[in-house]
Amino acid sequence: MSLGTAAREADPAPAATPGGAGVTPAPPAVRRISLLTRFKRDKSMLIMTLPAVLLLVVFAYIPMAGNIIAWQRFSPYTGFLHSPWVGWDNFARVFSNPDFINAVQNTLTITVFQLVFYFPVPIVLALLLNSVLSPRLKTSIQAIVYLPHFFSWVLVITIFQQMFGGAGLISQVLRAAGREPLAIMTDPSTFLLLITSQSIWKDAGWGIIIFLAALSTVDPAQYEAAAVDGAGRWRRMWHITLPAMRPVVILLLILRLGDSLSVGFEQLYLQRDAIGAATTEVIDTYVYFQGVQYGDWGFAAAAGLMKGVVSLALVLGANKLAHVFGEAGVYKRS
Amino acid sequence: MTTTSEVVRPLDAASDVPPVKRPRKSKHRASWEEPATPVGLFFKGVALTIVAGAVLIPLYSIILTSISSKTTISEAGGMVFVPGEITFEAYSQLISGGVVGRAALVSVGITVVGTLISTIVSAMAAYGLSRPNTLWHRPILFIFLITMFFGAGLIPTYLWISNLGLINSYWALILPGAVSAFNVLIMRNFFMGIDAGITEAARIDGASDYRILGQIVMPISRAVTAVIALFYGVGYWNAFFNAVLYIRDTEKWPLQMVLRSYVLQGQPIPGSAGTSVDAATGDIASLAVKMAVMVLALIPVVIVYPFVQRNFTKGVIFGAIKG
C-alpha cells in the first residue's frame, strides 16, 4: 500500500497536464511497479467502472455480436448459434429490394431537406438572442424555447395534432370562418415540411443553447476593439461572432452527417398510419417492420448492419475531413 | 428629450457645452455600441414574440382545455382558447384510478428507479475513469467510446432482450439504456477538472476511493450530476419505443403508450365517460380528459426543468462538447 502511494506521488499529477493523457512520461514508472501492485492500487477504481462496463457488455456488445444473424436464415426457435448459415444472401436480397431502395431514398431526402431548412434555424435564433441585451429577457426566452426538447415525440406529435390536425385549434378557427379545415397532419405532399417544423419546434432550442454557450466564450473586448476601429454591428457579427461559432457548427455538422441515415425513428413511426407507409418509410422503420413485424430476421439485421457500418464510416470520414481543414472535430487525434 | 441624469448634472458643468442629445440607452448597452434602431428593435421584438408564442400558445391552450367544463369546450368547438368555466373534473377522473393513473405510476416508478441506477452507475464509472494513469484506463475508456460511434442495431438488440426473457418486464425499459457513454464522459470530464490536491489530501488521510467519490467529488459536482440525472430522467419518462417493443401487456404500459393510443390515435379510454371517441371530430366529452393526459405527461418535465436549468452552465455544455 505504501509503495502504491509513493508511486502515485512520484507520477506527474494528472491534473497538471489536462488532455495530455496520450503523452504521459510513464514508461519507467510502469516498469518499476508490477501489474499486481498496480491492480491492488487501482482495484477500487476498476470496481467502480465494473457495473457500467457490465451493462455495456450485456446490452451493447453482445447485441453487436448478435449481428452474425445477418449471415443466417435466423429463426428464434433455433437461436443465434444453430440457425443455418446463408453467406451474403441476406445482403444481396436487401440490395435488390425496391422497398429498401425507397426507404434509403426517403431517408436521404429527409436528411438533406432538414440540413437545409432545419440546421440554420438555431444558428439564426442564437444570433438573434445573442443580440438581446437584457439578461433576464434572454434567459427567459432561452428557457422557453429549450423546454420542448424535453418533451417526448408522442407528446410533440399530439400537440401538433391538437393545433394543426383536422380537429385542432386552427381547423376550428377555419371552420368557424367557413373555410376548409387543415389537412397537413395527413397530407403526404407536405410531409417534409411537417416533420421539419416538428423537429424545429422540439429541438431548435437545444441548438440555440449550444451556440449561445459558444458565443459566451467570446471576449467582449474583441467587440469593443472592433467598434473602436469602426466596424459596424454587421461587420462585428461577420468577423467575430460567426467565427466563434464555427467550431460548434462543424462539430454539429459532423454529428449530423454520422446520423444522416437515422432520421426521427419515433417521429416517423408515430405518423406512419396518418400519412402512409410509402412516404414515411425510412431505413430504421423498414428494418423494424421487416424484422419485428414480419419475422424476416436475417434480412432485417443485414439492412440494419449496413446502416450501422455506413454511419460509422460517415462519422469517421467527416471527422477526418474536419481535421484536414484544421478543425477540432468530435475527438482529438491522440 | 431630457433624461433624469441631465437634470441632476450640476448646471455650471453643462453651461458652455450644449447638452448632447442622446437616444435612450439600455443599461446593458456598452458605451461603444451603436444605439438600437427602431426598425431593428421592432423586428427583434416580433421575432422573439413568435418564437416564444410558438412554444407557449399550444401549451396554454392544452392546459386551458384540460381544466374547462364540457359546456365551455362545446362552445369553443374543441380546443379552448378563451377561458370559460373552469373545472378540475378531468383530473379527478384520472386520479380516481383506471388506465391512465396506473400508467402514470408505472412511468414514475421506471423514471425514479432508472434515474437512480443510471446516475449512480455513471458517476462511479466516470470517477473510475477520471485518473488517466490507472490500470487499463485506455482500454476501458475505449469500451465506452465505441458505443458512441457504433450501435448494435435494433434487430439483434430486440432478439437478445427477448432471449433474456425480459419481454413484459420493466427491466427491459431500464437496463438496455441505463448507461450512456456520452453522459459518463461529461461527468468524467468534470471530475478530471477537480483540483487533484483535494482528493489527494483525502487519500493521504486514509479515505478510500469510494469515500472520496461519495463525500468529496459528488458534493462538488452537484451541478453536473443534476444535469446528468435530468438527461437520464427525461429519457426514461419519455421512452416510448422500448415499450412498443418489449411491453405487450397493456396493463403494464407506461404513460407515453397510453398517451399515444388514447389521445393521438383516439381510442376510447377504458372506464372513462364518453367511450366512443371519433378521432376526426374529437368527442367533446372526453377532450378535457385527453388534454389532462397530455398535461400529466408534461408536468414532471416542467416541474424539474427550472431546478436544473440553473445548473445548465456553459461549463456543463462545454464539457459535453470537448468530451
Lookup: cell for B114: 432508472
User: What is the three-class DSSP state of B83?
Assistant: coil
**CA B317 to centroid of chain Cα atoms:** 15
The fraction of chain A above a pLDDT of 70, given in percent, is: 88
Counting Cα atoms < 13 Å in the Cβ hemisphere of A243 gives 9
Q: Does B282 touch chain A (CB under 8 A)?
A: yes
Boundaries of every domain in chain A: 1-33, 89-324
pLDDT tens digits, residue range B9-49? 444 444 455 555 555 556 777 777 777 788 888 999 999 99
Rounded to an integer, what distance in angstroms lies between the CA atom of residue A186 and that of residue A191?
8
Would you state the pLDDT for residue A40?
86
For residue range A210-237, list pLDDT tens digits in order. Answer: 888 888 888 888 888 888 888 888 888 8
Residue from the list A24, A146, A300 with its beta carbon closest to the beta carbon of B155: A300
For residue B8, give how far its alpha carbon lies from the nearest alpha carbon of chain A (Å).
26
Confidence (pLDDT) at A328: 65
> Residue B191 corresponds to which cell in the numbers above?
471530475
At the topology level, CATH places domain A89-324 in MetI-like fold (1.10.3720)
> Which of A69-73, A302-306, B77-81 is least confident?
B77-81
Residues paired with residue A85 on neighbouring β-strands, in sequence order? A72
- Rounded CA-CA distance B268/B258 in Å is 11
Q: CA-to-CA distance for B12 and B25, rounded, in angstroms?
A: 24
Name the closest residue on chain A to residue B124, using Cα atoms.
Answer: A48
Most A CBs within 10 Å: which of B133, B158, B220, B232, as the mutation test of the A interface? Answer: B133
pLDDT digits (tens, 9 = 90+) for A141-194: 888 998 999 999 999 999 999 999 888 888 888 988 888 888 888 888 899 999
The answer to whether B73 faces chain A, any CB pair under 8 Å, is no
Per-residue 3-state assignment (H helix, E strand, C coil) for chain A: CHHHHHHHHHCCCHHHCCCCHHHCCCHHHHHHCCHHHHHHHHHHHHHHHHHHHHHHHHHHHHHHHHHHHHHECCCCCCHHHHCCECCCHHHHHHHCCHHHHHHHHHHHHHHHHHHHHCCHHHHHHHHHHHCCCCHHHHHHHHHHHHHHHHCCHHHHHHHHHHHHCCCCHHHHHHHHCCCCCCCCCCCHHHHHHHHHHHHHHHHHHHHHHHHHHHHCCCCHHHHHHHHHCCCCHHHHHHHHHHHHHHHHHHHHHHHHHHCCCCCCHHHHHHHHHHHCHHHHCCHHHHHHHHHHHCCCHHHHHHHHHHHHHHHHHHHHHHHHHHHHCCCCCCCCCC
Chain A contact for B309, CB < 8 A? Answer: yes
Strand residue runs (E) in chain B: none
Average of per-residue pLDDT values in chain A? 84
Whether the per-residue pLDDT at B309 is higher than 80: the answer is no
Report how far apart, in Å, the C-alpha atoms of B15 and of each of B4, B7, B22, B173 are: 17, 13, 17, 77
Give the mean pLDDT of A279-305.
Answer: 93
* pLDDT at position B270: 67
The span from the CA of B303 to the CA of B305, in Å, is: 6
Handedness of CA B294, B299, B300, B301 (dihedral sign): positive
Q: What is the CA radius of gyration of chain A?
A: 26
Are the beta carbons of A63 and B157 separated by less than 8 Å? yes
Which residue's C-alpha cell is 446490452?
A59
pLDDT of residue B274: 44
Q: Which of B63, B64, B143, B155 to mutate to test the interface with A (most CBs of A within 10 A)?
A: B155
Instruction: Give how far the C-alpha of residue B153 lies from the chain's centroid of Cα atoms, to the nearest Å.
Output: 26
Q: Is B317 on the interface with A (CB under 8 A)?
A: yes
**Residues of chain B with C-beta less than 8 angstroms from the C-beta of A18:** 192-193
Summary mean pLDDT of chain B:
82
Say which residue, A220 or B168, is predicted with more confidence.
B168
Position B243 scores a pLDDT of 93
**Could you write out the three-class secondary structure of B132-173?**
CCCCCHHHHHHHHHHHHHCCCCHHHHHHHHHHCCCCCCCHHH
Q: Would you state the pLDDT for residue B283?
A: 46
Task: Answer yes or no: is pLDDT of B71 > 50.
Answer: yes
Spatial distance between the Cα atoms of A239 and A244, rounded to a whole number of angstroms: 9
pLDDT, mean of residues A15-19: 41
Contact A45 B127 (CB under 8 A): yes
Residue A250, min C-alpha distance to chain B (Å): 12
pLDDT(A18) > 90? no
Question: Interface pTM (ipTM) of the complex?
Answer: 0.83
Percentage of residues of chain A with pLDDT beyond 90 = 40
Domains and CATH numbers, chain B: 38-91 (no CATH), 97-322 (1.10.3720.10)
3-state secondary structure (DSSP) of residue B81: coil
The mean pLDDT of B158-171, rounded to a whole number, is: 94
Please give, rounded to a whole number of angstroms, the shortest distance from the CA of A278 to a CA of chain B: 20
pLDDT digits (tens, 9 = 90+) for B79-130: 888 888 888 888 888 887 688 888 999 999 999 999 999 999 999 999 999 9
| Per-residue pLDDT at A330 | 61
Q: Is B201 in the A-facing interface, judged by CB distances under 8 Å?
A: no
The mean per-residue pLDDT over the stretch A279-295 comes to: 92
The CA angle A314-A217-B187, to the nearest 5 degrees, is 60
**Testing the interface with B: which of A154, A235, A297, A332 to mutate, by most B Cβ within 10 A?**
A154
Whole-prediction pTM value? Answer: 0.83
For residues B182 and A238, what is the distance between their CA atoms, to the nearest angstrom?
33
Question: How many CB atoms are closer than 10 A to CB A119?
Answer: 17
**Residue A72's beta-bridge partner residues?**
A85
pLDDT at B7 over 80: no
Q: Which whole number is the average pLDDT over B45-64?
A: 93
- A197 vs B308: CA distance, rounded Å: 27
Is pLDDT at B68 greater than 80 in this prediction? yes
Q: How far apart are CA B176 and CA B136, in angstroms?
A: 25
Q: Which residues of B touch A159 (CB under 8 A)?
A: 58-59, 62, 294
Q: State which of A31-45, A104-118, B64-78 shows the largest mean pLDDT.
A: A104-118
CB contact under 8 A, B181 and A56: yes
Of A303 and B27, the structure prediction assigns the larger pLDDT to A303
User: Does B171 reach chain A within 8 Å, measured CB to CB?
Assistant: no
Q: Who wins on pLDDT, B311 or A41?
A: A41
